[in-house]
Amino acid sequence: MKTFTTFLIAIALSGFVTIPSLSIAQTDATLGNVDDQDAESFQKEDDLPEREKKGNILNIILDKAPAMSTERGTLVIDAYIDSNSNSLWDDDEPDLKGEIVCTIDGIDYPVPAFIPGLDYNARYKISCQGTGHYQPTSSQKNVLIARRGQIIKMTIPCRQTISAE
């Protein structure tokens, strides 16, 4: 068990200890005048790729746990045919499935959509467009996840396009 613990500590510390790698040009430059060296050779490289930062065993063990679903927001989007143009979903107005696509953070979601894992206290810009015979009456909306675990239900009124009539 002691050997295993030592092994884990060695792996964890390997992410913190960096051995500078010098090229032949850098080694030759150190033999010359200090004024001839460029400023780049003295800079420490802190820009590790993202996968190396997260893949470190110490980061995996001691890093924060990801936010639970109860700490994140959820967005539910539905679309319907607004036949009387009042922007309210009446009982006689049918819902639309697969006719509208909404984009959030560069990801397209076909409506109806269930979008979990939205960050707390974050604003999201939602843009919707029709894919067929229907178009949303408003193309963009903004959503704010104001409370942890908040569930937001959004309904999108749509109208039939002229070509579909």
Q: Please give the angle made by the CA atoms of 64, 16 and 60, to the nearest 5 degrees.
A: 25
- pLDDT (tens digit per residue) in 91-147: 899 989 989 999 999 999 999 999 988 888 889 999 999 988 899 998 888 998 888
Asked whether residue 8 carries a pLDDT value surpassing 70, the answer given is no
Q: Which domain holds residue 130?
A: 69-160
Query: What pLDDT score was predicted for residue 13?
Result: 57
Rounded-to-10 torsion of CA 7, 12, 13, 19: 100
Are 81 and 132 part of one and the same domain?
Answer: yes
Structure letter (DSSP) for residue 39: G
Are 106 and 121 part of one and the same domain?
Answer: yes
Are 29 and 84 part of one and the same domain?
Answer: no
Are 85 and 42 part of one and the same domain?
Answer: no
**Domain closes at, from 13, 45, 62:** 62
Q: Please give the tally of structural domains in the chain.
A: 2
Task: Indicate whether 86 belongs to any domain.
Answer: yes
- pLDDT (tens digit per residue) in 11-20: 655 555 444 4
Which residue would you say has higher pLDDT here, 78 or 54?
78
- Mean pLDDT for the stretch of residues 81-86: 88
Q: Can you list the alpha helix ranges (DSSP code H) found in 69-127? A: none
**Domain closes at, from 17, 32, 62:** 62
Query: What pLDDT score was predicted for residue 19?
Result: 46
Asked whether residue 66 carries a pLDDT value surpassing 90, the answer given is no
**Domain closes at, from 19, 39, 62:** 62
Q: Pick from 123, 112, 113, 116: which is nearest to 145 by CA?
A: 123
- pLDDT (tens digit per residue) in 18-50: 444 444 444 444 444 444 444 444 444 455 455
CATH of the domain at 142: 2.60.40.10
Chain-centre distance for alpha carbon 9: 32
Instruction: Judge whether 130 and 100 are in contact, CB under 8 Å.
Output: yes
pLDDT band at 87 (very low <50, low <70, confident <90, very high): confident
Pairing of strands 100-104, 113-118: unpaired
Task: Indicate whether 165 belongs to any domain.
Answer: no
Are 96 and 151 part of one and the same domain?
Answer: yes
How far, in Å, CA of 42 to CA of 47, rounded? 15
Asked whether residue 62 carries a pLDDT value surpassing 70, the answer given is yes
Are 20 and 43 part of one and the same domain?
Answer: yes
pTM, two decimal places: 0.57
How far, in Å, CA of 65 to CA of 110, rounded? 30
Are 51 and 122 part of one and the same domain?
Answer: no
Are 153 and 83 part of one and the same domain?
Answer: yes
